[in-house]
């Protein structure tokens, strides 16, 4: 219909400007480690020498600047806002938290205002030439993630789940959302999927056998990686040093899997 937003409607192509790959990161629900995974994906690609940015669209919990230790105030020019960069790998970040006087206060704006702000995060931000721009979506399948996905020229979406969450239909809902919006599913990252015994190094499935194979089969997408419940990672996140994540091989594998899925 006129001015309608039917998800099945053909999209006007949105100019990707200087961005090579535009990848959304979503989840069926909050708390599965979506933001942490977004940051790890960015770190993985930046360690390969790629130019990387993160558009933090999770206004319910805008945690990307904190994960990467970014506290710089925003710099604006006539042309637009310049996203500050992380100290080590130069990952560019735009987040509502960079606009707030007190990042501890919740964002209480209503939907349309937030939708406009997120459009500005794409239109009015000088992202420059990037190989990868990741979008940390709001969790779930409500209006907010939908609006974000419709306003950006996405190449695909990565889905983050945890073993507890996988038992629920909510993950499949997120997959169907991507399908309805014609956004290709690039694959799944299973977070907090096992625990490593500090004594013997054995990997233990805390939540029973994983259901992720069923999901990847049903939606014909790859498993891009698995991350253990890791107190060191939690500590790095809390102290803004996710760039120092030590499991280099795990991140290399994640980067290769994402590249392969986008090829
Ligand atoms: P979401 O974006 O899905 O709401 P976050 O990425 O903010 O989730 O993660 C929620 C909390 O869980 C954070 O405190 C984060 O540090 C922690 N966390 C995420 N992944 C792991 C992990 N693999 N091991 C340990 N803690 C984790």
* Average pLDDT in the chain: 88
- Average pLDDT of 210-224? 92
Q: In whole angstroms, what is the distance from residue 123 CA to residue 118 CA?
A: 9
The mean per-residue pLDDT over the stretch 33-59 comes to 96
Give alpha helix (H) positions in 50-169. 64-67, 111-123, 143-151, 163-166
Q: Determine the distance from the C-alpha atom of residue 235 to the mean position of all C-alpha atoms in its chain, rounded to a whole number.
A: 20
Q: How far is the CA of 240 from the centre of ligand 1 (A)?
A: 13
Q: Which distant-in-sequence residues (6+ apart) come within 8 Å of 122 by Cβ?
A: 55, 151, 152
Residue of 64, 237, 240, 251 with the most ligand 1 atoms within 8 Å of its CB, for mutation: 237
Q: Which of 16-20, 52-56, 197-201 shows the highest mean pLDDT?
A: 52-56
Residue nearest to atom 12 of ligand 1 (CA): 33
Q: Model's pTM, two decimal places?
A: 0.92
Question: Could you tell me which residues come within 8 angstroms of residue 167 by beta carbon, excluding any fewer than 6 positions away?
Answer: 211
Confidence class for position 246, pLDDT limits 50, 70, 90: very high
**What is the 8-class DSSP label of residue 188?**
E
Q: Which atom of ligand 1 is nearest to the CA of 36?
A: 6
Q: Whose CA is nearest to atom 27 of ligand 1?
A: 234
Q: Is the ipTM of this complex over 0.95?
A: yes
Instruction: Name the closest-CA residue to atom 8, ligand 1.
Output: 33
Residue whose C-alpha is closest to residue 160's, from 22, 21, 39: 39
Q: Is residue 210 within 6 Å of ligand 1 at its C-beta?
A: no
| Interval 56-75 mean pLDDT | 87
Domains defined for the chain, CATH in brackets: 19-262 (3.40.50.300)
Average pLDDT over residues 160-174: 82
Q: Is the CB of 30 under 6 A from ligand 1?
A: yes
Structural contact between residues 54 and 45, judged by C-beta atoms closer than 8 angstroms: no
pLDDT of residue 1: 40
CA of 72 to the centre of ligand 1 (A): 23
Residue 162 Cβ < 6 Å to ligand 1: no
Q: What atom in ligand 1 is closest to the CA of residue 136? A: 2
CA–CA separation, 136 and 145 (whole Å): 9
Q: Residue 188 in contact with residue 223, Cβ under 8 Å?
A: yes
Cβ pair 241, 86 in contact under 8 A? no
pLDDT band at 39 (very low <50, low <70, confident <90, very high): very high
pLDDT reading at 247 higher than 80: yes
């Amino acid at each position: 219909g006129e001015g309608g937003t039917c998800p099945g409607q053909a999209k006007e192509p949105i100019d990707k400007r200087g961005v090579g790959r535009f990848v959304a990161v979503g989840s069926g629900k909050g708390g599965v480690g979506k933001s942490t995974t977004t940051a790890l994906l960015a770190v993985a690609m930046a360690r390969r020498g790629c130019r990387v940015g993160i558009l933090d669209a999770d206004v319910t919990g805008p945690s990307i600047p904190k994960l990467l230790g970014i506290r710089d105030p925003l710099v604006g020019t006539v042309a637009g806002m310049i996203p500050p960069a992380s100290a080590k790998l130069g990952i560019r970040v735009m987040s509502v938290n960079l606009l707030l006087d007190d990042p501890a206060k919740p964002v209480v704006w209503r939907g349309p205002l937030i939708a406009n702000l997120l459009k500005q995060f794409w239109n009015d931000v000088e992202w420059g030439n990037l190989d990868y721009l990741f979008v940390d979506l709001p969790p779930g399948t409500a209006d907010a993630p939908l609006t974000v996905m419709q306003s950006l020229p996405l190449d695909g979406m990565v889905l983050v789940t945890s073993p507890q969450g996988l038992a629920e239909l909510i993950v499949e809902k997120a997959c169907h959302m991507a399908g309805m919006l014609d956004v290709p599913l690039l694959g799944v990252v299973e977070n907090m999927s096992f625990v490593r015994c500090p004594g013997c190094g054995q990997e233990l499935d805390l939540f029973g056998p994983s259901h992720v194979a069923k999901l990847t089969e049903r939606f014909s997408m790859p498993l891009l990686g698995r991350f253990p419940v890791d107190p060191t990672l939690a500590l790095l996140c809390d102290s803004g040093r996710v760039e120092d994540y030590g499991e280099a091989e795990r991140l290399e594998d994640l980067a290769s899997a994402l590249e392969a899925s986008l090829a």
